[in-house]
Structures are given as C-alpha cells and as structure tokens.
Amino acid sequence: MRNLKIIHLLLGAFAIPIIAILGLAMLAISKMQVINEQSTVISSNWLPSVRVIERLNGQTADLRVLESRHILSLDNDQMRETERELEKIKLKIDDSARSYQQLVSSNEEQLIFNNFNKLYKEYLSTQQKILILSRENKNEDAKQLLLTESLKTYNEYSDLLLQLSDINTKGAQAASNYGDEIYDESIKMTIAILVIVSLLVLTTSIVISKFIITSIKTVQHFIAKLANGDLTDRITDIGNNELGFLAQDCNHTADKISEMTEQLITVANNTATSAEVLASTMNQVENNSKQMLVQVEQIATALNEMSSTALEVSRNATEAETSASEAMENVTEGNKSLGESNNISVKIGTAIRDSGTIVNQLKDFSIEIGSVIDVITSISEQTNLLALNAAIEAARAGEAGRGFAVVADEVRSLAAKTQQSTVDIQGIISKLQSQAEKADHYMKANASLLDESQIISEKVRNAFDGISASVNAISNVNTVVATASSEQSSVTEDISKNISSTVEMVDQNVMGVGNASKACHDVLTEAGKQKQLLAFFKTKRRY
C-alpha cells in the first residue's frame, strides 16, 4: 500500500461497492425476469385456458337450453328458429375448442380434452335423435332422451371441463409459487452480498483512511517544526506515492533552507569580525591609512559575495514556490477524478430508480388483470341471478316448466363454479402485487446505499482540501524566505555604499576618520540584527 498512488487506492475502494451494486442489479434483473416469465405464463396460458373452459361451459349449457326449447316448441317455425340457434352455438363451441387446443400444455390436459371432444360428439349424436323426435311431436320420448342419455353425456363432459379448469388453476398456482421461490432466493442472495460488500468496504475504508491520516500527520508535524524555525527535523520514508513525494519535497526544502541559513550565519559572523577589525584599524588610521584602505577593499569584496549569496537564496525560494504550485495542481487533479467517480455513482442510482419504475408498472398490470377478474365475477353473478329468475318462472309454470327448471339449476351451478375460479385467480393476483411492492421497496433501499457512498466520496474530497491547505502553508514559508533574502541583499548594498564612502574619506585625509568610525558602528549594528534574525532558525551546525 505504501507504493500505491492515493488515486489508485481510492479508485480501488470505490470499485468494490460499484462492482457489487452492478452485480446486485444484474441479479435483481435476472430474478425479476424469471418472475415476469411466470406472470406471462399465467396471463398468456393458464388464465386464457380458464376463460375458454368457462366459455365452453356456458355454450354447452346453452345447447341444453335450446334443446329444451325445441321440445317445448308448438309449431315448425319455432323449431326451425331454435335449430338455427343450435347451429350457431355449435359453431361457437367448435371455435372455443380450437382456441383451447392451442393452449394445451401437457399430455394429461391433452388426454382429457380428447375425451371431452369424444363425449361432445356423442352428445351431438344424441341431440340429433332428440330433434327428430321433437319434429315428430314425440315430446315425451324426446324429453325422456334429454333427461337420461343426453343428460348423462352432458354431465360427463362437464366434469371433464371442470378437470381442465382445475389443471389450469393448479398450473397458475404452480407458476406463482415458483415466482415466490425465485423472489425468496433473490432476497437471501441480496442480503448475503450486501453484508459481504459492507464488510469489505468498511475494512478497506479504515485501512486507507488510517494510512492517509498517518502520513498527513507526519507531514503536518514536520511543517509545524519548520514554521517554528527548527531545520533539523526530517520526514522518514512514508511511501512511493503522492504523500511520499510531498514528504521528499519538504525534506529538500528544509535542506535548502538549512544550507542557506548556515551560509548566511557564516557571512554575518564574518561581517561582524570585519567590522571589529575595521574599528581597531580606525585608531591607527593616521599612521596606516593605506593598510586601512586595503582592509576596506576586502570588506567590499566580502559584501559582494554576501549579495550574491542573498540573490541565490531568493532564486532557490522561488523554485520551491514553483514545486509547491505543482503539488497543488496534483491535488486539484485528484479532486477532479473524485468528481468523475461521483458522477458514475449518480448514473447507477438513476438505473436502479428506473428498475423501480418497471416494478411499479408490473404492479399496475396486475391491478388491471384484477379489474378484468371483477368483470368476470360480475357476469357470473348476473348469470346466477338470471338462472334464479328462470327457476322461479319455471316453478310458476308448474309441470310444463320442470325441464326448464333443471336447465336453470345447471346454469346456477356453472355460475357458482365460475365465481369460485375467479376468487382463486384474484388471490393469485394479490400475491403478485404484494411481491412487486416488496421488489420496489428493496430497489429504493439500494438507491439509499448509493447515496451513502456519495457522502463518503465527499469526505475524501474534504481530505484533499486539507492537503491543499498544507501545500499553501509551504508556499507561504517560501515567500517569507524570499522576502528575507531580498532584505538581506538591500542591507548588503547599504553597507557597500558606506564602505565606498569610507574609501573616499581615507583619500580625503583624517577628516574622514569620524565618518568611517560611524560607518563601522552601523555595520556592527546591522550585523547584530542579522544574527538576531538568523538565530530564529535552528540548524544541525552549532555557532
């Protein structure tokens, strides 16, 4: 970790939750696709099959009603009209049978449907016999055949239709149960993934945070000592990354400042010594003016060297300022990369919210299916009411309406079975809606976790801001050194002017001794001030 760049560490830390979220989203999409397939099977096969069975039940019951009407008809016109209606009903039954054939999904279902077709053909054969007897006005014989052989066949294939209805109802229930199993499995897997990823993210965040904070505190401690004038401290190796490079730059800066300070102290000591020598020489100026002139020239040379050294210090301080600016640019680039990572997290959150919208649409479709079931229930109730009214009318008709009463009872029985089937389907739809609501809830929970990840990113951005402040502090120190060097150069120039005046005074005779003494006093004063300023810095070399 010490040799990894900070940006790589942060990208690695953010990659773990991002990859986990992507995997979790793919898992959710896969499981929801399976649930959608089961819902599609219910809506495109099982439910249409139940509807066709109900339609067949109603149409075969209409056949019985029309047969009874034919027997009760008083003239040939009524019989022919009834026979035309019978043909229409048969065509509808054939059409329903063809529709159901396309929905058959198992061998057992096919076998029962084949038996229904066989019994239905037998029923039609018996129906022809009944119609012939009815045309010949042998109503009692026709009625007897209707209530015996024909009724038996009718009951048998009605039972087969009920079996087919049960098969499709159980198939729909099985599809719904399978969807529930897939949903439960996806919930368990999601929880497991979230727990594992949370532990990984927490562990990674703690390790990286501890490493960065420790390195920053080391640099901060060094800068604090540097600000207090201690140039003896150095930062040990903290890694081959941005913080390590910053530590190396800090060490180089301290080395340069320490070296320049030592040179300045040496020059200041030399200046003080020269000034003392000059003061002593002034006592002998009358006897040895030439020797004094030589010494003054030596002082001028030393001052020129001091001026050059001050200019070098100023140049090196400017270079240190440039290095600090480059470090600031690196921190800015890190903030920019962190912003791009936040933008990716926002896009993932949008994708999760879109998935939640799809789940809500699935719930709305389930509600629409429930509305259709309500319509079917209403029709069944109306059919039951009509059958009850028919039974009442048949009871009023007495003996003549007894056959019609049988038909009415059959219709009521079919209506009751239809209502029961719709209740079962409504229960399945309710379960589907409940599961869709749970899926929407977990989608929202995933979006909330992504928001927390963005908050962590903001904290990392704040850490970058702290680094930026530290670099600014280094830049400020460099500015102070450059300013001090400029002042030193100015003082040196003043001293050089004074020495020039001293040379002129020597040349002008003893009258310049007083002025030269004053100049020496000024040199000693400035040297003392310079020592006081340089005493602020603590170096490895002792003076």
Average pLDDT rounded to a whole number, residues 227-236: 75
Which of 6, 2, 3, 4 lies closest to 331 in space, CA to CA? 6
Please compute, for residue 138, the number of CA atoms within 13 A of its CA located in the half-sphere on the CB side.
11
- Confidence check: pLDDT of 105 > 90: no
Distance CA 17, CA 442 (A): 17
Which comes out higher in pLDDT, residue 485 or 226? Answer: 226
Which of 309, 317, 350, 285 lies closest to 508 in space, CA to CA? 285
- The pLDDT, as a whole number, for residue 386 is 76
Whole-model pTM? 0.36
Residue ranges of domains in the chain: 216-341+472-534
Q: What percent of the chain has pLDDT over 90?
A: 15
- The pLDDT, as a whole number, for residue 126 is 94
**SS3 assignment, position 58:** helix
Which comes out higher in pLDDT, residue 477 or 154? Answer: 154
- Confidence check: pLDDT of 341 > 60: yes
- The pLDDT, as a whole number, for residue 508 is 74
- Confidence check: pLDDT of 159 > 70: yes
pLDDT tens-digit series, residues 512-529: 766 766 776 776 687 677
Average pLDDT rounded to a whole number, residues 79-102: 92
538 forms beta bridges with 230
Average pLDDT rounded to a whole number, residues 281-292: 69
- Confidence check: pLDDT of 297 > 80: no
Please compute, for residue 515, the number of CA atoms within 13 A of its CA located in the half-sphere on the CB side.
16
- Confidence check: pLDDT of 45 > 80: no
Average pLDDT rounded to a whole number, residues 307-325: 66
How long, in residues, is the chain? 543
- The pLDDT, as a whole number, for residue 133 is 92
How far CA 405 is from CA of 66, 309, 332, 336, 365, in Å, comes to 13, 126, 92, 86, 41
- The pLDDT, as a whole number, for residue 125 is 94
Distance CA 309, CA 489 (A): 8
pLDDT tens-digit series, residues 410-426: 777 876 777 777 777 77
pLDDT tier at 162, thresholds 50, 70, 90: very high
pLDDT tier at 127, thresholds 50, 70, 90: very high
- Confidence check: pLDDT of 306 > 60: no
Distance CA 485, CA 479 (A): 10
pLDDT tier at 232, thresholds 50, 70, 90: confident
- The pLDDT, as a whole number, for residue 439 is 64
- The pLDDT, as a whole number, for residue 392 is 84
CA 523 to chain centre: 72
One-letter amino acid for residue 90 of the chain: K
Tokens for 490? 């100015």
Measure the CA dihedral 137/138/143/144, to 10°: 180
- The pLDDT, as a whole number, for residue 419 is 72
- What are phi and psi for residue 229, nearest 5 degrees? 90, 5
- The pLDDT, as a whole number, for residue 226 is 75
Mean pLDDT of the chain: 76
- The pLDDT, as a whole number, for residue 241 is 67
pLDDT tier at 207, thresholds 50, 70, 90: confident
Which of 141-145, 184-188, 292-296 comes out lowest in average pLDDT? Answer: 292-296
Kindly tell me the burial class for residue 502, based on how many C-beta atoms sit within 10 Å of its own C-beta (0-12, 13-18, 19 or more). Answer: buried
